Structure 1
């Protein structure tokens, strides 16, 4: 007697077909756990219902992942970032804003992040401070992040920019300590912008006084008692989200593109954050 059990819709509740190329590509893709779960949710909502694309909100995907609970609401922002990250990596495509349909792109068009950038900052001959910064997107964030931690955007792989700013201070025992807001690591923030946006937007080659003032405004922006822009990972995620705005990346009748000065205006910052 054969021990092979025939599986059919009457015993399993149905099937969702997956193209072999897509299946194998997802197996080999260097995606985070959250990105993979979001991709599987998008696949379920498209192929699972014989559709090429689907209009779906980040909160609905979060509920698929975590159930209809407070955790789903708390994770909505993370899911939104995962969707944007998959769009940026060309795994999925959305022609427009957050309310437009999402679909999978052909595997040949995928641009999965695989490289890490090593940024070094030095302030004396004897001391070289090196950190590995994932400037592409969030891949290693703890999936049990609370709502406040999401806002703070703390990642185990990324060093606190605030502590980096403290090291760059030049105070002496006889001088009062300068305000943390006055010791902003501008060069490192510019490096993150150039790494994330440099291929699609104008690179920042000079920090003008106006740009410094606007970066300082982001640095001091407070949410629920937290200062999210004092984390390198938050800058990376923010600039990544900006790239999903097609008008800002040149798809307009003038061919105009945003730059670091535009993206650090407080009204533009709030527009991006409030859309999550």
Structure 2
């Protein structure tokens, strides 16, 4: 039996420029970045368009058949889009509602990759290639009381760990309740400062008001999912906020947003609905 598929029976084709095709093969992109790039190509060249207005959720639905999975991965797709824009593979003049297109291959600035060793359960050192941090600003790391390194924003889809709120000095230490009941305010503060700290005012202290606003984000439910209980979602959200030029100071007053403004429920929904 032949394993050759006749082209005429595939149901159509999407043309691709040879230089772009070779460049995507050679580019040291992450798997998600490559999939997003191919989706953008499908939506542009596949429909004879130079650029396309497309939401991150739409691309996520192209990548995942399961509706719930597509919704939960929307923030990661948005992050991949921003990473491709920063590496000059894609171009978008404005915010998330503006058209997006490919830049010429000779303008691409692909991040260099680094190789690290990780130990497997068999105590065998295996080389593992990881991408350079694709956030706008480098993310700091801290060490928790157990000596474990805690990254301000998770580099995987791992949920944020909850942290107990401060109790009175005379109160006995209580066992930590479920994650949904305790909010890792300090880690969210670190993510904000890492992503926005050199463009927007740094968050030096979490007041009661700020904690209340963060709690509103933490408990926000969309299609049965709590997206803000994931470290990568906070990183992607704050990154998307920086694409709003008015919020970053491009206005007649020189005003800039801060963590209180960005965690207001109306502003959160404005950003999410634009993805």
Fold shared, TM-score > 0.5 on shorter chain: yes
Paired residue secondary structure (2:247): coil
Query: Any gaps of 5 or more consecutive residues in structure 2?
Result: 1-6, 112-130
Q: CA RMSD in A?
A: 4.1
Residue of structure 2 in register with 1:38 after alignment: 36
Contact 1:250–1:256 (CA under 8 A) maintained in structure 2: yes
Residue of structure 2 in register with 1:151 after alignment: none
Residue of structure 1 in register with 2:149 after alignment: 130
Q: 2:77 aligns with which of 51, 62, 82?
A: 82
Query: Any gaps of 5 or more consecutive residues in structure 1?
Result: 1-7, 141-154
Residue of structure 1 in register with 2:19 after alignment: 19
Paired residue secondary structure (1:120): strand
- Aligned counterparts of 1:14 and 1:223: Cα–Cα separation in 2: 34
User: Deviation digits for residues 236-261 of structure 1, max 9, x if unmatched?
Assistant: 22212322333223333433321112
Paired residue secondary structure (1:249): coil
Residue of structure 2 in register with 1:191 after alignment: 190
Residue of structure 2 in register with 1:148 after alignment: none
Paired residues for 1:66-105 under 5 Å: 71=66, 74-75=69-70, 78-79=73-74, 81-90=76-85, 91-105=89-103
How far apart are residue 263 of structure 1 and its match? Answer: 0.8
Aligned length: 239
- Aligned counterparts of 1:62 and 1:186: Cα–Cα separation in 2: 29
Paired residue secondary structure (1:245): coil
Contact 1:186–1:212 (CA under 8 A) maintained in structure 2: yes
Residue of structure 2 in register with 1:201 after alignment: 200
How far apart are residue 75 of structure 1 and its match? Answer: 1.5
Q: Which structure shows the higher helix fraction? A: 1
Q: 2:142 aligns with which of 102, 110, 120?
A: 120
Paired residue secondary structure (1:213): helix
- Aligned counterparts of 1:175 and 1:46: Cα–Cα separation in 2: 58
TM-score (norm 2): 0.65
How far apart are residue 197 of structure 1 and its match? Answer: 1.9
Contact 2:249–2:256 (CA under 8 A) maintained in structure 1: yes
Contact 2:92–2:98 (CA under 8 A) maintained in structure 1: yes
Contact 1:171–1:178 (CA under 8 A) maintained in structure 2: no
Relative to 1, partners in 2 of residues 1:118 and 1:167: Cα closer, same or farther, differing over 3 Å?
farther
Contact 1:119–1:132 (CA under 8 A) maintained in structure 2: yes
Paired residue secondary structure (2:51): coil
Relative to 1, partners in 2 of residues 1:121 and 1:186: Cα closer, same or farther, differing over 3 Å?
farther
User: Deviation digits for residues 172-197 of structure 1, max 9, x if unmatched?
Assistant: 99665576678533222111111122
- Aligned counterparts of 1:50 and 1:174: Cα–Cα separation in 2: 67
Moved more, 189-198 or 75-84: 75-84
